[in-house]
Amino acid sequence: MDIYAQLDPRAHTSLQLIAEADDAKKRLEISELDLFDLSDQQIVELRRFQRSEFDVTLGMLERRIDSQASETSKVRQAVRDTLSKLNPKPSPIHKALIQLSNRGVATALATTNFDLLLEDAAQSLGLQTTTSSLGAIPRPGRSREFAGILHIHGALKRDPVDPSDLVLSDQDFGESYLRRRMATDFIHDAARLFNLVLVGYQANDPPMRYLLNAVAADGLRFPDVRERFVFVGSESIDRVEMQDWRSRGITPIWYDSKNSHAALLDTLTRWSQLSAINGEQQVIERTLTSIVNKSVDAATDAERDLFDHLVRRGNSRERNRLTRLASKSKPDLGWLDRIVAILREPRGEERK
């Protein structure tokens, strides 16, 4: 709406009425609006906006105002000005994501956001990261070259006057995903090498529609595609929404979104603390000891699953260390049986 406030005040007035109706959970029909002598083009944009098709809306606006897309168009300059004025600061969730993105040889985290909050979060943690976007993103791999904050849809320059190449409109998405296949190829390759975990998306977000279309079919066609997950925050579990994600080939993980998504922050922080790569050893040891002080039967399903995970995810040296730690507590023999079973599991290439 801020873009329309700068470029088309008359249409902006109608958009405000639509937004107010949405806040009141009342759908306002376009025919009910005082359209202030808007053109047919403007009314079509209002309809697209009302359907939350913001990429299409911006594309239509840019074609009407600027005739064609360019890095220096009035619409894109208005987007840059609006985002730059927000001046947000990295949140604890950004910092937790940075800590989780360390895979040992390098730190890599892909985002569809334009802002540089992840870079700021890394800097606040004393970590050195690089920024790459669009065609400059390195091809997914397990080497050190595949590293940094990877902006699939482009990144804002630090200087708001400096033009930024962004995937913003419907035409941009078509160019990036269909014609040049930059984002599509990146996602396809990444999905074969890593388990993708999506944070901060809704199923109908324009970027998410393209992302899902890029990988959903591959999950059925290619056996090497890894499982994908998404954190879904809401006040209560919506079974239809959960099924919507599953039908798109992504496993949803629900959490209670109250208190500014505190549950998500707690989960990501705990996950990073228990990481086999850069986790906090004291937390890992304390957690394992706490679990094995109970009998296997007395432990909860979550505790048994966490025990298995802590043993399974490490290399041989880490497994031996955790086994010795568990043995010191003189645990129920059932825990040692679980360790033996995990050690007998095939690993790496043996699973194929």
Contact by Cβ (8 Å): 199, 231: yes
Instruction: Give the Cα separation of 222 and 205 in Å (integer).
Output: 26
pLDDT of 131 reads 93
CA distance 275 to 100: 8
- pLDDT score recorded for residue 254: 94
Strands lying side by side in the sheet with 108-111: 108-111, 148-151, 131-133
CA–CA gap between residue 168 and residue 147 (Å, rounded): 24
β-partners of residue 132 are 150
For residue 234, the cross-strand partners are 256
Spans in the chain with pLDDT lower than 70: 22-36, 160-161, 203, 207-208, 210-211, 213-214, 217, 219-220, 347-352
Quick one: pLDDT at residue 31?
64
Q: For residue 262, give Cα distances in angstroms to 93, 200, 236, 255, 266.
A: 9, 13, 15, 9, 6
pLDDT value of residue 325: 85
Per-position DSSP letters for 198-259, written without gaps between them? E-S--TT-HHHHHHHHHHTTHHHH-TTPPPEEEEEEESS--HHHHHHHHHTT-EEEEEE-HH
Instruction: For residue 161, give the amino acid letter.
Output: V
pLDDT at 348: 53
**Cα 161 to Cα 72, 134, 158, 168, 236, distances in angstroms:** 10, 20, 9, 18, 43
Note the pLDDT of residue 350: 42
In one-letter notation, the amino acid at residue 85 is K
d(C-alpha 57, C-alpha 65), whole Å: 12
Answer whether 0.75 is exceeded by the pTM. yes
Cα–Cα distance measured from residue 230 to residue 210, given in angstroms and rounded to the nearest whole number: 15
CA–CA separation, 227 and 250 (whole Å) = 7
**What is the tens place of the pLDDT at every residue in 166-201?**
999 989 988 888 788 888 888 888 888 888 898 988
The pLDDT, as a whole number, for residue 60 is: 95
